Chain A
Amino acid sequence: MSAIAEHRPGRLRVYLGYAAGVGKTYKMLEESQRLRGEGKDVVVGYFEPHGRKDTIEKTQGLEFVPRKTLVYRGVKFEEMDTEAILARRPEICAVDEFPHTNVPGSGRAKRWEDVKALLDAGIHVMTTMNIQHLESLNDQIREITGVEVRETIPDWVMKSADEVVLIDLPPGALLNRLQRGAVYAPEKAQRAMDHFFKEEALAALRELALRQTAHEAEIRQGSPEHRDDQEAGDERQERILLHLTESPATAGLIRRGKRVADYLKAECVGVCVLRPGSLSRLTSGEREALERHLDFARKLHVETRVLEGENATEALVDFARRNSVTQIYLARPPRQWLPMLGKRHFVMRVVEKAKDMQVTVVADRRRQRP
């Protein structure tokens, strides 16, 4: 089984960092220069200078495909001109800021979709991103940094890259750069250091980036025999069921469940159980939330099913048995839930009912810390 999901003509390399200023863009441009020196046809499709002198110097002599200008709600925005790059047909294209969300009306919603269009046309792409934009780590990132990252890359998109290369830099050196004003202008640098760029947050992000790159290296080792044989025959194929509801905990459950499923190379299915006619009984807000969660699961390449049943516990567990599910993932009961109210919580009822399989109660990774 090859880890690289799709076969497509263009090759994708992602330069992965853990914070602004570690040198991803610099490295991408340096590589563009090297390739140009070898006589390759390289263009820059999108570049965000951030006023960084060293980085701007690296662009000298490189061909840029001009950005396109869009007006949205009376404000001008500049986006990568994917169609112009496709018309130019370079061999290699450098594209900064992979997780970027395009302004409405740009054609494609996300830059990674623009990149996909380039790859499909046979153009090799180099791009940059930070670990905090990886979808499955979103809850942990919020806990580490206090920042809700909205521009995310689904894990399967990263997995589809031919190569993920880490740009590492110890936090001390990064903070030096920040203090010297090499990353942001002074006021912005101070703000950054007070919030996102705290030493412990940087170290935690860096560790996540190192571990993610290690995982990406592992799944790209091609023939997995030597690793999996140790387990062969030991376990049947793991199948993980994620229980989807309208509860806000569901998004975190999907991220965590899918992440574990990916690491275990397990199949993953998202299941929501509705009582007959209950959809009409949900408030419009709840219904929207449920639809959003189903949609979110599908975006992360989790197949989804909607079941009907009078008894949610039974419907869920029966489905799991019929489909040889090995593990059911449920969200933790909310903190305010008290066990002595006479009614057992749904989670406990599933645990009790599904005694023949494994049930994982997923932590709320966004809990507020004292």
Chain B
Amino acid sequence: MSETEHRRPDPEQLLWRAEAEARAQGRGKLKVFLGYASGVGKTLRMFSEGARRKSRGEDVVVGSVQPGASPQGLEQIPMKVDGGGTCVDVEAVLRRRPQVCLIDGLAYRNPEGSKNAERWQDVEELLQAGITVITAINVHYVQEKQPEAETIRGKRVTDSVPERFLRQADEIEVVDAPPEYCVGREQEGGRDSTEALKRQLQALREMALVLAAEVVDQQLEEYLRRQGMEQTFGTHERILVCVTPRSNADLMIRRGRVQADRFHGDLHVVYVRQDGLSKADQEMLENNLLGARAAKARVEVLEGDDPIEAIIRYARGQGVTQIFAGHSQRTGWMSRWRVNPLERLILEAEGIDVRVFPQEAPTR
């Protein structure tokens, strides 16, 4: 399920974040209310927050409202009507220079010929001008979540916001509500589809909550790093499968994938490089790593004279909560006075669960 294994961010994300940090000087703050369907109450929460800030003396305006919404007595900057559609009047907001601007419907696409193709780019402009933006979005408009959301909803939406834009928000807040609250708003079919619709809503809800958890996890890690704390709390399950040429990699990776998915966690697969592998072993190893990639694991080849040390160093660096390892071939002649590698792994992986797998798949 989780395809973005973000503990070690990909280079593109790093670049984006570096740019974001450089821009952070004088940049407005971004707060996002994240929901899973119409009817959860995002817009209401957004306007309540605007009204609360105004009552505390902040200069708050509304840059976009959806039809039928009441912005609780807040000053509105009228939207621009342009080429058959409406969009945020960015120039007017910039001229008005409020401290805080509320933008509903973050995912909207601007009419043809607008300066920015999408509303989130308008928001980016406001942020760059030092204006704090509070906005709201439903999870199925997040670009990277759209394939999954389409499978759940059975229909596609064309408007979207890239996930990286949400991930750099200063605050993301989930607006949750029981699915039955949204049934009326979402329902288009007959009455008999209510149960199916509730299931869909639960699935979308799960997606929104997991996305928010991932953002929070990333923010927590960045906070800990900034504070120089080398702590992990194990809030995010990360499974590390250690493969060798002859380990039962297939079973370990399969079980690892299931467990990672059930916990909305990440799957890592590592191999510690060994010299002098036979041709047959090399082939088996490559096959195992291929299987790992097919299971959408993050695959790493580790270097180190001491494989156990290499594995544990990696596990600690990545905040791994469970290590999967196979019985080594040599356990058979393991003696009373020599510590075998598996034993060392168990003893040294303090704070991490170690799950030991049979060498051969059990006969079924």
Using a CB–CB distance below 8 Å, which chain A residues touch chain B?
13, 140, 143-144, 163, 165-170, 172-173, 199-200, 203-204, 206-208, 210-211, 213-215, 217-218, 220-223, 231, 234-236, 256, 260, 263-264, 327, 332-333, 335, 337, 339-340, 342, 344, 347-348, 351-352, 355-365, 367, 369
Q: Cβ of A347: which chain B residues have Cβ within 8 Å of it?
A: 346
A205 CB, nearest partner CB in chain B, Å = 8
Q: Are B236 and A207 in contact (CB under 8 A)?
A: yes
Q: Can you list 11 A-B contacts with CB-CB less than 8 angstroms, sorted by A residue number?
A: A165-B176, A168-B176, A168-B212, A203-B216, A208-B235, A214-B205, A214-B210, A342-B337, A344-B336, A351-B342, A367-B351
- Identity of the chain A residue whose Cβ is nearest the Cβ of B49 in the assembled complex: A173
Given contacts A217-B205, A218-B202, A220-B202, contact A165 B356 (CB under 8 A): no
Near A by CB (< 8 A), chain B positions 200-259 give: 202-203, 205-206, 209-210, 212-213, 216-217, 219-220, 223-224, 227, 229, 231, 233-236, 254-255, 258-259
- Complex Cα–Cα for A165 and B150 (A): 24
Q: Are A342 and B336 in contact (CB under 8 A)?
A: yes
Given contacts A200-B220, A207-B216, contact A363 B233 (CB under 8 A): no
Which of these, B202, B217, B259, B347, contacts A333 with CB under 8 Å?
B347
Q: Are B216 and A140 in contact (CB under 8 A)?
A: no
Q: Cβ of B357: which chain A residues have Cβ within 8 Å of it?
A: 358
Is B355 an interface residue when CB atoms closer than 8 A count as contact? yes
Interface of B is mostly: mixed
Q: Are B347 and A339 in contact (CB under 8 A)?
A: yes
Which of these, A169, A199, A223, A369, contacts B199 with CB under 8 Å?
A223
Near A by CB (< 8 A), chain B positions 310-349 give: 322, 327, 331, 334, 336-337, 339, 342-343, 346-347, 349
Q: Cβ of B220: which chain A residues have Cβ within 8 Å of it?
A: 200, 203-204, 207
Is B116 an interface residue when CB atoms closer than 8 A count as contact? no
A15 CB, nearest partner CB in chain B, Å = 9
Q: Are B235 and A211 in contact (CB under 8 A)?
A: yes
Which of these, A172, A221, A364, contacts B351 with CB under 8 Å?
A364
A-B contact count (CB 8 A): 170
Q: Cβ of A203: which chain B residues have Cβ within 8 Å of it?
A: 216, 219-220, 223
Pick the interface stretch among B62-70, B82-90, B120-128, B166-174.
B166-174
Which of these, B171, B179, B224, contacts A172 with CB under 8 Å?
B171
Given contacts A210-B209, A213-B209, A221-B202, contact A235 B258 (CB under 8 A): yes
Q: Cβ of B234: which chain A residues have Cβ within 8 Å of it?
A: 140, 143, 365
Which of these, B177, B212, B227, contacts A200 with CB under 8 Å?
B227
- Complex Cα–Cα for A360 and B176 (A): 36
Q: Are A363 and B173 in contact (CB under 8 A)?
A: no
Interface of A is mostly: mixed
Is B362 an interface residue when CB atoms closer than 8 A count as contact? yes
Q: Which 6 A-B pairs have the closest CB atoms?
A: A214-B209, A210-B213, A166-B176, A217-B206, A203-B220, A168-B174
- Complex Cα–Cα for A213 and B203 (A): 12
Q: Are A200 and B231 in contact (CB under 8 A)?
A: yes
Q: Kindly list 19 other residue pairs between chains A and B, CB separation below 8 angstroms, not including A170-B31, A342-B336.
A: A163-B178, A166-B174, A168-B176, A170-B171, A170-B172, A200-B224, A200-B231, A203-B223, A210-B216, A211-B213, A211-B235, A214-B213, A220-B202, A231-B258, A234-B254, A256-B353, A264-B259, A351-B327, A360-B356
- Complex Cα–Cα for A339 and B340 (A): 10
Is B364 an interface residue when CB atoms closer than 8 A count as contact? yes
Q: Cβ of B235: which chain A residues have Cβ within 8 Å of it?
A: 140, 144, 204, 207-208, 211
B353 CB, nearest partner CB in chain A, Å = 5
Given contacts A203-B223, A264-B259, contact A351 B206 (CB under 8 A): no
Which of these, B173, B262, B362, contacts A264 with CB under 8 Å?
B262
B205 CB, nearest partner CB in chain A, Å = 5
- Identity of the chain B residue whose Cβ is nearest the Cβ of A257 in the assembled complex: B353
- Complex Cα–Cα for A213 and B34 (A): 15
A253 CB, nearest partner CB in chain B, Å = 10
Given contacts A140-B233, A264-B262, A355-B327, contact A360 B354 (CB under 8 A): yes
- Complex Cα–Cα for A230 and B185 (A): 32
Which of these, A214, A339, A340, contacts B206 with CB under 8 Å?
A214
* Chain A proximity mask over B95-111: 1 for CB below 8 Å, otherwise 0: 00000000000000000
Is B21 an interface residue when CB atoms closer than 8 A count as contact? no
Q: Are B219 and A355 in contact (CB under 8 A)?
A: no
- Complex Cα–Cα for A351 and B343 (A): 9
- Complex Cα–Cα for A231 and B176 (A): 30
